[in-house]
């Protein structure tokens, strides 16, 4: 998986910081998560081939998480996009986008599907043969979901030396990778584990923003490889975090520790602090593997 942070600062776009948006590349798919104002320019700046984005996940309807969506949809239209585009987000997102397209008398030449969410339970919103995406219900001032991206267990890996030694025809390779044993011409059965290695361990990524400290997400994100958790504030502003239903760095770290995730990325920083390293320092007091998101930064895992 490769995660590119297009924007990870709270509230308003500024000259040097961008509101929330990120691209997750996973098994040749390119998912866009949130789409604050300026996202399409950030996609260009980071040289991401954004015609490859077919699925956009919107956490909630605060402007810093979706004001760039209608512009991106319009740009796809101007670029003569033909491929279907799917948008997953809170109820209302369809009305907001279509109202604007209607007033501009513009219609997409591609199919635009809205998958509106209103469940308060975690649910599968996307699934194909290699990837599944589930919502992570979050607690914020308005209806909000995080998203858990999970690779599915892939094919077993072919043991090339072994299949060649048994002179097995290449036409059986896919069946072997699927786990089948092979019967040779002389009737000997070769068990699959002699012909294959275990598949690559599937990875998972959990995006949790915006949210207050909420332990009820732990069973959903438990043991995931990478957790992005918002940290709008430091503990010194814990009262503000509570009032605005955001998290502090310490709270993000506590969730990471309790959910036993492998690594934690912090983001959604308030711009009131002089350096974002303060967030890392605070989080590291209770969880060791802390990374800092920043606009334009990529993470591979």
**Judged by CB, which is closer to a second copy: 55, or 62?**
62
**Judged by CB, which is closer to a second copy: 45, or 243?**
45
Residue matched to tokens 């590119």: 4
Spatial distance between the Cα atoms of 296 and 42, rounded to a whole number of angstroms: 8
Residue 152 in the binding site for a second copy (CB under 8 A)? no
Residue 11 in the binding site for a second copy (CB under 8 A)? yes
Asked if 64 is an active-site residue, the reply is yes
Burial of residue 140 (CB within 10 Å: 0-12, 13-18, 19+) is: buried
**Judged by CB, which is closer to a second copy: 203, or 240?**
240
User: What radius of gyration, in Å, describes the C-alpha atoms of the chain?
Assistant: 22
Burial of residue 71 (CB within 10 Å: 0-12, 13-18, 19+) is: middle
Residue 35 in the binding site for a second copy (CB under 8 A)? no
Query: From the CB of 287, what's the least distance to a second copy, in Å?
Result: 30
Q: Which of residues 62-121 bind a second copy (CB under 8 A)?
A: 62-63, 67-68, 70-71, 74-75, 78-79, 90, 92, 95-96, 99-100, 103-106
- Helix 93-103, helix 69-78: angle, nearest 10: 50
Residues tagged active-site: 64
Q: Using CB under 8 A, list all residues that contact a second copy.
A: 11-15, 37-38, 40-41, 44-45, 61-63, 67-68, 70-71, 74-75, 78-79, 90, 92, 95-96, 99-100, 103-106, 141-142
């Amino acid at each position: 998986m490769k995660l590119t942070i297009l924007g990870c600062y709270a509230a308003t776009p500024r000259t040097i910081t961008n509101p929330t948006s990120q691209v997750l590349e996973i098994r040749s798919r390119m998912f866009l998560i949130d789409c604050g104002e300026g996202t399409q320019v950030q996609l260009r700046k980071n040289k991401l081939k954004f015609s490859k984005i077919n699925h956009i996940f919107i956490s909630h309807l605060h402007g810093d998480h979706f004001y760039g969506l209608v512009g991106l949809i319009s740009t796809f239209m101007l670029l003569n996009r033909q491929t279907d585009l799917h948008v997953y987000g809170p109820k209302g997102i369809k009305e907001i986008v279509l109202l604007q397209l209607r007033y501009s008398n513009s219609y997409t030449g591609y199919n635009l599907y809205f998958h509106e969410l209103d469940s308060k339970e975690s649910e599968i919103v996307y699934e194909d043969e290699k990837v599944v995406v589930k919502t992570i219900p979050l607690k914020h001032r308005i209806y909000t979901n995080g998203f858990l991206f999970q690779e599915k267990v892939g094919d077993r890996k072919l043991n090339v030396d072994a299949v060649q030694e048994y002179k097995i025809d290449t036409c059986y390779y896919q069946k072997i990778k699927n786990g089948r044993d092979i019967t040779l011409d002389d009737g000997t059965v070769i068990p699959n584990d002699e012909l294959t290695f275990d598949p690559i361990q599937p990875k998972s990524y959990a995006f949790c923003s915006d949210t207050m400290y909420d332990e009820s997400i732990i069973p959903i994100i438990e043991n995931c490889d990478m957790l992005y958790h918002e940290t709008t504030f430091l503990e010194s502003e814990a009262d503000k975090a509570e009032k605005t239903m955001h998290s502090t760095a310490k709270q993000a770290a506590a969730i990471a520790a309790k959910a036993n995730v492998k690594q934690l990325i912090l983001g959604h920083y308030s711009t009131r602090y002089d350096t974002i390293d303060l967030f890392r320092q605070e989080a590291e007091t209770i969880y060791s593997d802390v990374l800092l998101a920043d606009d334009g930064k990529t993470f591979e895992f």
